A and B are shown apart, each in its own frame.
Chain A
């Protein structure tokens, strides 16, 4: 376990650096880092501090958030197919963003799109709480999440359908694919505080998720409050996934695949898997974001497309491998 956390931390550090040093500007590595650390005149400090640094920070934070919430939801629902998008918050955030693009609100101010997406995420949480209530088991939460996702998907489709402006429709489609390109420190300041709060909430229920290994009734008799756990998990996931979707769009498969990859390595205990999945998610998203810049540098390959293209076969391979070995 400790060995893996060190390995993953080193990997994340290296990929963070790689993300800082990758880009169309083709700057020399040492000059770039010097400009990042000490500033100075000319274009290099601007590129480093205002283009690459926010991109790398968001890659790290969003990847970590997706890995963490994926592992937490899998632990809570005791279902290895759970993922951060399951409870419908990312779908509602996307709907908020889509409405902002369609109405032209996103052109008014840089912060309008992420704020509209966060408003969508908040509406999603309100709906989720109303549907799944403070009491009730994990199945209600899944059902409510599926219903909200479907609703958000229908709303997004409706906006696209009625869009009189093909350029707006085009922009919506590309935004939905998910990307970290062209993000500024404004996005970082908008997304990071709520995400950190959400991650803190989720990490605070680690042992409660461990107890759930024995089922909900046994966990309660170990002193775990089912209602408290549920609130923290819903609030934590929403605070991580809402802002993440708001600034980067929908990025799939990270939260689903990472806990699967790490479970055989660090063990299936949720309290060990949660921090490991955060590191693993950060590594995967940073790597993918470096890859989209290297594979087709002259075309804007979307991050969400790459994670799905890499993630889906990886997931198939994991299912194939574990099929004979009993449980996934």
Chain B
């Protein structure tokens, strides 16, 4: 198992937001975390990473900080870049947990590979903050790739991106899973989640409501309970299109 959570509970400002969540993620899985706002998706990821206090166990948070940083990468929702550093320097931050600290041959290779994979060669020396939002996001994903961990945890990675960028991002995550890594990402677009993820986890009110393949998780009854909506499903050659009505 790449990540095992058992009995994970989180209380924020004396309000319980996660109730005894059990979850086990294996390699090669791209798990989409879906659920309404406030369902506990971000809390689940932050607790799993050991960023916030929780009760229960997380195999990841139990690791020492340096080993954890070589096991899982985190892409927060905020997409913060505090200083006008070059794309290359930004991507190099992903190598901080590794022994070379960014300067060894192995580090250079990982940085180059990440930049190439995100198509950022032309932007290498450019200041990341002067790029467009989509390009900045690609640079941040390249930073995550450079960390080169078996697991990637991404909080709403496609929020605020144009459709082409959304597709590119989800394809990349699917490819990462196909290469044997594990991806856990919260996604609001149910149709895209159904198309790209190998498995969905539906969270509602701090409980796991459903966990499994898209067909099983996106049932009418479950979606009504979680979101209070009904959906129309249109089968297309590329997978189901899911339209909330």
Q: Which residues of A contact B (CB under 8 A)?
A: 75, 78, 207, 210-215, 217-218, 220-225, 263, 267-270, 326-327
Task: List A contacts of B86 (CB < 8 A).
Answer: 267
For residue B46, CB closer than 8 A to chain A, the reply is yes
Q: Which residues of B contact A (CB under 8 A)?
A: 46, 49-51, 65-66, 68-70, 72-76, 78, 80-86, 89-90, 93-94, 96-97, 101, 129-130, 140, 143, 147
**A213's contact among B66, B68, B81, by CB below 8 Å, is which?**
B81
Task: List B contacts of A270 (CB < 8 A).
Answer: 83
Task: List B contacts of A212 (CB < 8 A).
Answer: 82
CB closest residue in chain A, given B128: A213
Q: A212-B82, A213-B93, A223-B69 are in contact. List 17 more A-B contacts (CB 8 A).
A: A207-B96, A210-B96, A213-B83, A213-B85, A213-B90, A214-B81, A217-B51, A218-B74, A221-B49, A223-B97, A267-B85, A267-B89, A268-B83, A268-B84, A269-B85, A326-B84, A327-B129
A-B contact count (CB 8 A): 81
Contact A215 B76 (CB under 8 A): yes
CB closest residue in chain B, given A79: B82
Contact B85 A222 (CB under 8 A): no
Task: List B contacts of A78 (CB < 8 A).
Answer: 82-83
Contact B93 A211 (CB under 8 A): yes
Contact A327 B84 (CB under 8 A): yes
**A215's contact among B46, B73, B80, by CB below 8 Å, is which?**
B80
- Closest CB in chain B relative to A319 CB, distance in Å: 15
CB closest residue in chain B, given A211: B96
Most buried by B among A210, A213, A221, A224: A221
**B80's contact among A218, A220, A223, A225, by CB below 8 Å, is which?**
A218
Task: List B contacts of A220 (CB < 8 A).
Answer: 49-51, 65
A-B contact pairs, 8 of them (CB 8 A): A210-B96, A211-B93, A218-B75, A218-B80, A221-B51, A222-B93, A223-B97, A225-B65
CB closest residue in chain B, given A328: B84
For the complex, what is the distance from the CA of A222 to the CA of B94, rounded to whole Å? 7
Task: List B contacts of A326 (CB < 8 A).
Answer: 84, 129-130
Task: List B contacts of A213 (CB < 8 A).
Answer: 80-83, 85, 90, 93
For the complex, what is the distance from the CA of A267 to the CA of B125, rounded to whole Å? 11
- Closest CB in chain B relative to A189 CB, distance in Å: 36
For the complex, what is the distance from the CA of A221 to the CA of B84, rounded to whole Å? 21
For the complex, what is the distance from the CA of A29 to the CA of B93, rounded to whole Å? 49
Task: List B contacts of A214 (CB < 8 A).
Answer: 76, 80-82, 93, 140, 143
Contact A218 B96 (CB under 8 A): no
Contact A268 B85 (CB under 8 A): yes
- Closest CB in chain B relative to A277 CB, distance in Å: 13
CB closest residue in chain A, given B98: A223
For the complex, what is the distance from the CA of A75 to the CA of B90, rounded to whole Å? 15
Contact A221 B101 (CB under 8 A): no
Known A214-B80, A215-B82, A217-B76; judge A223-B96 contact (CB<8 A): yes
CB closest residue in chain B, given A77: B82
CB closest residue in chain B, given A218: B76
Task: List A contacts of B46 (CB < 8 A).
Answer: 217
Known A213-B90, A214-B80, A326-B129; judge A221-B72 contact (CB<8 A): yes
